[in-house]
Structure 1
Amino acid sequence: MAAFGLLLLPATEASAQTALKYLSEPASGQTVRAWDCCKPSGAWPGKADVSTPVKACAKDGVTAVSATMQSGCAGGSSYACNNNQPWAVNANMSYGFARANLPGRPESDTSCACYALQFTSSAVKGKTHVVQLIGQGPDIGANVFELLIPGGGVGLFNGCQSQWGAPSTGWGDQYGGVRSKAECSQLPSQLRAGCNWRFDWFLNADNPSVSFRRVKCPTAITDRSGCRRKVD
């Protein structure tokens, strides 16, 4: 695809020295949040023309496991890796991972692709969250990005129960998750940074709308997932 522009980041930010390269025109969308601990669908082989599938992990959330291992949400031993949680780059930009429902774009086109989500509502309006898509999102409307945030709700499958011993409905509400930063202490220590991100950088925004563009994935993101699209 042809580039449509560059977003220049502050030179003083070590992890943001490289400009984001836009690969599409902007479109409007919506966000929701979740962290169900399930193996990402992008971690299965053959989802797209990528270097390797998304990394999936054992119960410790660190040890890489075979791409063919069954998800912990279906009785197996493969889960989301701890490093799939979001992190701040600077006051106005952060990185992370998401699932998405983008009508007309099959998973073969979106798996491991990155999108810059510029928030257009709530307290985070104007901030940008760059995410790599590692799975298909909920079918609750067009252009919905499900941001992967620990403590954001375990949803229908709740793999966190078998991975971390979470309650049957997860930490906080099953859909929506914890309600305050103090409740992040309920999560295992390995996931608290991402939970805190929601209340610090993300300002506890509740499903804000976005303007989104496909971008070339930052290396800081692909280094975590292990997945790079061969053409983007």
Structure 2
Amino acid sequence: MKYQFLKSALILGSVLAFVNCTDDATDVISNLDPNANQPSENDPSAMPADDPCWLINADQPYLIYPAGIVTDLKGNPVATFVFTDENYTTGNMIAADGSTIILNNIALDNLTVVTRATASMALPPSSSAAIETPASSADVTPTVSSSSTGTTPTSSETAANNDKSSSSEEKQVATSSATQTPITDGKVTITGSLTQTVAQKASTSEIKFSGLSNEPTRLSWNAYFLETSYSNGTYTIKAITVPEYFEVGEVSEFFKVEGKDYEFKITVTKAGSGSTSKSSSSQQQQKSSSSQQAKSSSSQQAKSSSSVQPVSSSSKQVVTTGCPTIKTKGGASGSGFASRYWDGCKPSCSWKNNAGSAGPAKQCSRDGKTASTNYDEQSVCSGGGAATCTSQIPFTIDGCDNIGFAFAAVPASNGGQCGKCFQLTFTGKGKYETKGNHKKLEGKKLIIMVTNIGADVNQGQFDVMIPGGGVGLYNGTSGYNWGSQGAQYGGLLTDCEKEAGTAGDVTNKRKECLIKKCNSSFGSDTQAKEGCLFLANFMEAAGNPTHNYTEVECPEVLKSKY
């Protein structure tokens, strides 16, 4: 998605006000001239050497300037930085094409403030780059091979690098987790391997982080099929079957645990190859898949400073293996509109008697994270312990332009539609009003899979499951530990429609308001926040948009989450 570039002095002031760094660095950065951070007159292609900026060391060192320009160490602009939060402290690094994400979820207050002249002195020494902890949790380097040709390092090269180890307290754990023996990193104990080889249709091995004071944050959704749970100071990455359609190659998932970033690297092999879930020695790294592992844009690839890093790619962040083919079935079709809800109750399709040929839909315990297979369990909305799983948030896929995926409720009077899928094509209009938000949605498609029914859902209406979409008739969200869910019907967007009013730029007012409320209500649940932001970003903050619908074959990306 393309974002507007922020350059004004007012925005610049907002950006700088939220920087958390040393006193000296704060003084330097707060005294920036509004005209600073532009290419110098002497060298129009390069940034000034003495302007303050943030340093992040990924596939190569990058310098991020408050005006949104990103350069290499020579000052040459190579990308732009676009803010994604209301406080201007987090953002994405976007390539020159204006849409490709190089790095996402970059937290500026975790980075070191430098100038181009001093940046090289802030980088980790190259001699310890293979295993030494970087200066900050966000200042890390992707795992790449040790030669510029991309070949796998030999055991002698790896051993030489390991000899350059710093103290055990400074080492990141991910690369050494090739055994099931618990490993302690500070106060965190890790059980299970963070480097695994798993065949399609086989299961990953469980990983546990214990001794935690708060729930970790999931930083990426590359291996979107993974499920997590948190209870009593222990964070579990569950043993989950790799979908058959997931592409062979390497994929990494990233987690922030007690202030540190950890990478869970999975090498996916072809189904039926005989490979099952196993640890992969950190000394025998496989070559990266061009579709799953980012390549350095530099011809001289740097050795990894840690296998713990944020999502990075010099080409494109991989979320899945590509856009699935959507095939129509010639079944039900018509027109209607899409409403929204998230009540947290046990889905109707989780009852075996309702499930049909698709089998029962997933259900979770009250927290929405812990899977529950007792399908006779009553719903939290009627005093039981079964609830909706937050893994069933709406989502998009890299390579699927203008197509989203979600779960939804249909009219109770329809019956027998559990596990069926429909394609909604938005018309650019709304059921109750038509604003710019609805017009921007025109032509986009939403593929939904039925998991629930609603007594208050009408024919042609699909009530899409979106966190913050409103609880409707029942409210089973108390166990999620979320913030305000907004209006009973329509949720946070309904509140924003009232707050934005009818004057001025209503389209952007509603969208900006919704983004702010999503960040506030789901600050402790990254997964739910992503689902809420789907309504702001993919759905353009359009309330009750009208659509034409037709029944389609269910794509695997939905079936795997059903």
Q: CA deviation at 1:209?
A: 0.8
Say yes or no: does 1:150 pair with 2:467: yes
Aligned position for 1:57: 364
Structure 1 counterpart of 2:409, one-letter code = R
Distance 2:532 2:394 in 1: 9
Aligned position for 2:488: 174
Aligned position for 1:27: 334
Normalized against structure 2, the TM-score is what?
0.35
Say yes or no: does 1:133 pair with 2:450: yes
Unaligned runs of 5+ in 1: 1-11, 226-232
Distance 2:445 2:412 in 1: 19
Aligned position for 2:403: 93
Q: Percent identity?
A: 30
Aligned position for 1:184: 518
Structure 1 counterpart of 2:407, one-letter code = F
Q: CA deviation at 1:176?
A: 1.1
Distance 1:27 1:102 in 2: 17
Q: CA deviation at 1:177?
A: 1.0
Change over 3 Å in CA distance of 1:142–1:52 after alignment to 2 = closer
Distance 1:19 1:51 in 2: 18
Aligned with 2:366: secondary structure? Answer: coil
Q: CA deviation at 1:125?
A: 1.4
Q: CA deviation at 1:51?
A: 4.2
Aligned position for 2:168: none
Distance 2:561 2:533 in 1: 19
Distance 1:30 1:69 in 2: 32
Q: CA deviation at 1:157?
A: 1.1
Distance 2:457 2:356 in 1: 27
Change over 3 Å in CA distance of 1:56–1:140 after alignment to 2 = closer
Distance 2:386 2:536 in 1: 28
Unaligned runs of 5+ in 2: 1-317, 430-437, 497-513
8 Å CA contact 1:93–1:127 kept in 2: the answer is yes
Distance 1:211 1:138 in 2: 22
Q: CA deviation at 1:52?
A: 2.2
Q: Deviations over 1:165-194 (max 9, x none)?
A: 456xx5121211113111112123330000
8 Å CA contact 1:138–1:144 kept in 2: the answer is no
Aligned position for 1:68: 376
Aligned position for 2:546: 209
Say yes or no: does 1:218 pair with 2:532: no
8 Å CA contact 1:137–1:144 kept in 2: the answer is no
Change over 3 Å in CA distance of 1:181–1:51 after alignment to 2 = same
Pair member with larger Rg? 2
Higher mean alpha-carbon deviation, 132-141 vs 174-183, is at 132-141
8 Å CA contact 2:449–2:558 kept in 1: the answer is yes
Distance 2:412 2:365 in 1: 29
Aligned position for 1:4: none
Q: CA deviation at 1:142?
A: 2.0
8 Å CA contact 2:412–2:455 kept in 1: the answer is no
Aligned position for 1:18: 325
Structure 1 counterpart of 2:460, one-letter code = N
Aligned with 1:181: secondary structure? Answer: helix
Aligned position for 1:164: 480
Normalized against structure 1, the TM-score is what?
0.82
Distance 1:177 1:59 in 2: 20
Distance 1:24 1:79 in 2: 30
Aligned with 1:23: secondary structure? Answer: strand
Q: Give the number of aligned pairs.
A: 208
Change over 3 Å in CA distance of 1:115–1:96 after alignment to 2 = same
Matches within 5 A, 1:114-133: 114-120=421-427, 121=429, 122=438, 123-133=440-450
Q: CA deviation at 1:60?
A: 3.0
Distance 1:56 1:130 in 2: 21
Change over 3 Å in CA distance of 1:93–1:102 after alignment to 2 = farther
8 Å CA contact 1:58–1:77 kept in 2: the answer is yes
8 Å CA contact 1:42–1:53 kept in 2: the answer is yes
Aligned position for 2:530: 193
Aligned position for 1:82: 390
Distance 2:401 2:538 in 1: 7
Distance 2:456 2:471 in 1: 16
Aligned with 1:22: secondary structure? Answer: strand
Tell which has more relative contact order, 1 or 2 (C-alpha 8 A, sep 6+).
1
Aligned with 1:42: secondary structure? Answer: helix
Q: Deviations over 1:32-54 (max 9, x none)?
A: 11111111000001214324200
Aligned position for 1:37: 344
Higher mean alpha-carbon deviation, 199-208 vs 60-69, is at 60-69
Aligned with 1:18: secondary structure? Answer: coil
Distance 1:77 1:100 in 2: 23
Aligned with 2:533: secondary structure? Answer: helix
Structure 1 runs (4+) greater than 6 angstroms displaced: none
Higher mean alpha-carbon deviation, 183-192 vs 126-135, is at 183-192
